[in-house]
Amino acid sequence: MATIRSTLVCHSANLVIARGSRQCSHLKSALSRWSANVLDFLARRILGALATLCFVVTAVFFATRLSGNAMDYLLPPGTDAQTKVAMVQQFGLDQPLWVQFFRFVGGLLHGDMGLSFYERRPVVDIYAERLPNTLQLFAYALFISVVAGVPLGIAAALKRGKAIGSAIMGLAFIGYATPNFVLAIIMILVFSLKLHWLPSSGSMTALHFLMPALVLSALMLAEIIRFTRNAMLDVLGQDYIRTARAKGMPKFLVVGKHALRNAAIPVVTVIGLQVAGMVGRCVVVEAVFATKGIGDLVVFSAIGRDYPVLQFGVILIATLVVVTSVLIDLLYALIDPRVKVTAS
């Protein structure tokens, strides 16, 4: 009997080991396929991003040339023809358009975007001075949107049909419906000119960024509130949430551990879309508040026909949008393994 029992125990142990080996093998195979899918997805997204940027580079170059000769706006009225010809030759505007284009692309690949028509300084140096202000404003606005938007959206879902929930959704509707430049003007009139609480322009301290960040975050905040509320309402009605509640699990665990995680995909989606849009809205907000970022630089270079500055600004903004889009797509697969990274 002892021999038979020992044989059965050994046989059972061998079965467990074999089953564990098969499970490990399946897990390794799944991870290998997932990694291959991620790499394939990333490669295709990078190729698509490069194609988009090539189109932007071509479009911005030829679009700026459609507005006419920049020297007509740069030089004061009454400038003699000889001086104008010398300036045109200095910036290479007398060469054929295709020569200018390939020179522009070559300079872009080497990090040389030429000199500003007005400041007579390298364009890259001008943007290097302004980019920190834009990134700081962008970070503040993103922080306000996410940190305030997700809790408010959860509260609106939990307090559905009550005064608090209605008030939160009313706030989101106002932020969604009010254009950035209108909200910026209202805030300047109230908090700067009337109450004298906040500076209306500049970028010297964190207070100078408060109003621009609030204006820039308004639309994204409203979208996050709305999508978080809708996603939470959908998840809170699922069977597993009711089961967790029936077992006596604390409400904050039900919401934080189960509901919020499963509601995260649509929220991340809207954050990704709004981050890309926020890059473009920076142009308007920075121009209104004069924060000395790349936004108002792009606006003034467009008005003054400063081709090198305008071209690099548009390309830089497009690059930020494309890179953000790729990163958000990759984030989906990390949050929810059910998301297929092989999908286009």
* Closest alpha carbon to 105 in 54, 65, 49, 52: 54
- Residue 344 has a pLDDT of 43
Per-residue pLDDT reduced to its tens digit, 245-263: 676 666 666 666 667 677 7
- In this prediction, residue 16 carries a pLDDT of 45
Write out the two tokens for 328: 């958000």
Mean pLDDT confidence for 297-319? 84
Reply yes or no on whether the pLDDT at 275 is more than 70. Answer: yes
Can you tell me the mean pLDDT for 270-288?
A: 80
Q: pLDDT at residue 267 above 50?
A: yes
Crossing angle of the two packed helices 123-158 and 307-335, in degrees rounded to 10: 40
Q: Which phi and psi angles does 4 have, rounded to 5°?
A: -65, -45
What is the per-residue pLDDT across 192-246, written as a single tens digit (0 to 9) for each? 888 888 887 777 777 888 889 999 888 889 888 888 888 888 877 776 667 766 7
Stretch 54-77: mean pLDDT: 76
**pLDDT greater at residue 143 or residue 334:** 143
Q: Can you give the pLDDT at residue 15?
A: 47
The Cα–Cα gap between 341 and 42 comes to 9
> What are the helix (H) ranges across the chain?
2-65, 71-74, 81-90, 97-109, 123-158, 163-177, 180-187, 206-236, 239-246, 251-253, 260-262, 264-289, 294-303, 307-335
pLDDT given at position 333: 60
- CATH superfamily, domain 113-335, is MetI-like (1.10.3720.10)
pLDDT recorded at residue 108: 84
CA atoms within 13 A on the CB side of 53: 21
Name the residue among 85, 86, 93, 90 with its Cα closest to residue 65: 93
* Mean predicted confidence (pLDDT) in 321-344: 65
108-166 pLDDT, tens digit each: 888 877 788 788 888 888 888 888 888 888 889 989 998 898 889 888 888 887 888 88
pLDDT grade for 342, boundaries at 50, 70 and 90: very low
Q: pLDDT: is 184 or 272 the higher one?
A: 184
Token reading at 181: 């430049």
**55 or 284: which carries more pLDDT confidence?**
55
pLDDT digits (tens, 9 = 90+) for 3-62: 555 554 454 545 444 455 555 555 566 556 656 666 777 778 788 888 888 898 888 888
Give CA 86 to chain center in angstroms.
Answer: 43
3-state secondary structure of 192: helix
Measured CA distances, 209 to 118, 178, 284, 320 (Å): 27, 20, 14, 21
Rg (CA), the chain: 28
CB atoms within 10 A of CB 76: 5
C-alpha closest to that of 158 among 89, 94, 283, 245: 245
